[in-house]
Structure 1
Amino acid sequence: MCKVLGISPQGYYDWKKRRKSQRTIDQEILEEAILQVYKAFKGRYGSPRIALELCKRGLFTSKNRVARLMQRMGLAAVSYRKRSRIGRKSKGSGIMDNLVKRAFEAQTKNTLWVGDITYLPLQHGFLYLATYLDVFSRKVVGWAMNTRMTEQLVIDAFLQAVGRERPSAGLIVHTDRGSQYTSRRYQSTLAAHGAILSMSRLGDPYDNAVMESFYKTLKRELMPETRKFTNEKEARNAVFEYIEMFYNTKRMHSALGYMSPVEYEKQHS
Structure 2
Amino acid sequence: MFLSEILVQTLTYIQTKRNGWCYLSTIMDLHSRRIIGYSFSKKMDTDLVLKTLESAVKNRTITGDLIIHTDLGSQYTSDDYNQRLTELHIRHSYSRKGCPYDNAPMESFHASLKKECVYPVPVFEDYETAAAVLFEYVHAFYNRKRIHSSLGYQTPLQVEIATLTSQLMIYLSCGR
In 2, distance between residues paired with 1:246 and 1:217?
Answer: 12
In 2, distance between residues paired with 1:133 and 1:218?
Answer: 13
In 2, distance between residues paired with 1:268 and 1:179?
Answer: 34
Length-normalised TM-score, structure 1: 0.59
The one-letter code sitting in structure 1 at the alignment partner of 2:13 is Y
Alignment equivalent of 1:137, drawn from 32, 51, 57: 32
For structure 2, the 5+ residue unaligned runs are 165-176
Larger Rg: 1
Residue 158 of structure 1 and its aligned partner are, at CA, apart by 0.4
Post-superposition Cα deviations, 1:229-263, rounded to whole Å, max 9, x if no partner, equal 01111100001100011100111111111111111
Question: Is 1:246 aligned to 2:109, yes or no?
Answer: no
The one-letter code sitting in structure 2 at the alignment partner of 1:201 is R
The one-letter code sitting in structure 2 at the alignment partner of 1:220 is K
Alignment equivalent of 2:106, drawn from 207, 211, 214: 211
Name the residue aligned to 1:30.
none
For structure 1, the 5+ residue unaligned runs are 1-106
Name the residue aligned to 1:162.
57
RMSD of equivalent CA atoms: 0.9
Q: How does 1:16-35 map to 2 (within 5 A)?
A: none
Question: Is 1:121 aligned to 2:18, yes or no?
Answer: no
Name the residue aligned to 1:189.
84
In 2, distance between residues paired with 1:226 and 1:252?
Answer: 23
In 1, distance between residues paired with 2:33 and 2:142?
Answer: 10
SS in 1 for 2:14: strand
Identity among equivalent positions (%) equals 38
Structure 1 segments (4+ residues) deviating >6 Å: none
Post-superposition Cα deviations, 1:7-31, rounded to whole Å, max 9, x if no partner, equal xxxxxxxxxxxxxxxxxxxxxxxxx
Greater RCO (Cα-Cα under 8 Å, separation 6 or more): 2
Higher strand share: 2
The one-letter code sitting in structure 1 at the alignment partner of 2:15 is P
Name the residue aligned to 2:96.
201
The one-letter code sitting in structure 1 at the alignment partner of 2:3 is K
Post-superposition Cα deviations, 1:176-228, rounded to whole Å, max 9, x if no partner, equal 00000000000001110110000000001111111111110000001153431
In 2, distance between residues paired with 1:225 and 1:162?
Answer: 32
Question: Is 1:225 aligned to 2:120, yes or no?
Answer: yes
Q: Is the 8 A contact 1:130 1:154 kept in 2?
A: yes
In 2, distance between residues paired with 1:217 and 1:199?
Answer: 23
The one-letter code sitting in structure 2 at the alignment partner of 1:193 is L
In 2, distance between residues paired with 1:137 and 1:227?
Answer: 31
In 1, distance between residues paired with 2:162 and 2:81?
Answer: 34
Length-normalised TM-score, structure 2: 0.90
SS in 2 for 1:268: helix
Post-superposition Cα deviations, 1:21-78, rounded to whole Å, max 9, x if no partner, equal xxxxxxxxxxxxxxxxxxxxxxxxxxxxxxxxxxxxxxxxxxxxxxxxxxxxxxxxxx
Residue 169 of structure 1 and its aligned partner are, at CA, apart by 1.1
Name the residue aligned to 1:33.
none
Q: Is the 8 A contact 1:121 1:227 kept in 2?
A: no
Name the residue aligned to 2:6.
112
